[in-house]
Amino acid sequence: MAAQILDGKALAASWEQQLSTRVAALKEKSGGKTPILATILVGDDPASATYVKMKGNACRRVGMDSMAVELPSSTTTEQLLAKIDELNNDSNVHGILLQHPVPAQIDERACFDAIALHKDVDGVTCLGFGRMAMGEDAYGCATPKGIMRLLEHYKIDIEGKHAVVVGRSAILGKPMAMMLLEANATVTICHSRTQNLPALIKQADILVGAVGKPEFIKAEWVKDGAVVVDAGYHPGGVGDIELAPLHERASAITPVPGGVGPMTINTLIFQSVDSGEKALA
């Protein structure tokens, strides 16, 4: 039986229509004001510049404004902290995104954690992570939160299932595991140094590939009927999981591209609109 395709691209487009309606209603109610997402790009990394541009375009598609803050690669931690503080105190800004990675001389974690909790729409602060992990109110990290929204839309049953997350990054693997745990899954966190990794993956009812290595997870490791979520994207249009053979064996698959990626950006916009509504409504 062919696997169900969890189409993040189509779902993100559908959500953009709903978000456009919400932004228009907010604009009318607030005398013309819209949610504003401030994006901070430090340096001239072309991939980062492309990602920031995509996020700005997504803002405009739903009628939001974006504020592009571009800083030179020579920026110090203190200078970046000062800019974040300025945006924290700007009542016209409702979300702050610091594009990862920043130049090596900057203390990235200190700068992430300087973002005010109510403006942390990308879910990158330690405070936001801790509150999310404890089931308290906070914006979730955009990629894992986007995955949860995708699973919810397609009515993928999570409760009581064994979810295996391969990857332990602060903005994907760890928060993904916490969100699945909060949804009543039994969660195993693995990574590239896990012993007997194929045997653990074979147990997964829900598999999330977030290890950052192209096709690191082999199709033969995945059991028949598993829900397969691939959060990776690498040159050549491949993810972290060897997906092609799984189209006839898995129960559901996120395609690469067009699965997780569009939901990441859409979740950033979704949470920015929510922040704007709280501030402006």
Q: Is 223 part of the annotated catalytic residue set? A: no
- The partner residues of 165 in beta bridges, in order of sequence, read 189, 208
Q: Point out which residues pair with 125 in neighbouring strands.
A: none
pTM: 0.96
Which of 65, 83, 99, 230 is labelled catalytic?
99
Tens digits of residue pLDDT in 185-241:
999 999 989 999 999 999 999 999 999 999 999 999 999 999 999 999 999 999 999
Cα separation, 161 vs 34, whole angstroms = 41
Q: Which domains does the chain have, with CATH numbers?
A: 31-119 (3.40.50.10860), 142-261 (3.40.50.720)
Contact criterion met (CB below 8 Å) for 209 and 232: yes
- Residue from 7, 122, 230, 240 carrying the catalytic annotation: 122
Task: Provide the residue type at 129 as one letter.
Answer: F
- Residue 17 designated active-site: no
Tell me the per-residue pLDDT of 58-117, one tens digit each, with 9 for 90 and over.
999 999 999 999 999 999 999 999 999 999 999 999 999 999 999 999 999 999 999 999
Please tell me the distance from the alpha carbon of residue 260 to that of residue 248, in angstroms, as a whole number.
20
pLDDT of residue 281: 78
Q: Which of 128, 107, 106 is nearest to 116 (CA)?
A: 128
Residue 99 annotated in active site? yes
Strand 252-253, strand 227-230: pairing: parallel
State how far the Cα of 191 lies from the Cα of 195, in Å rounded to an integer.
Answer: 9
How far is the C-alpha of 58 from the C-alpha of 266, rounded, in Å?
8
Does the pLDDT value for residue 26 go beyond 80? yes
- For the stretch 98-110, pLDDT in tens is 999 999 999 999 9
Sign of CA dihedral 140, 144, 150, 151: negative
- Give pLDDT tens digits for 120-144: 999 999 999 999 999 999 999 999 9
Label residue 3 by pLDDT band (50, 70, 90): very high
Catalytic site residue from 7, 55, 145, 230: 55
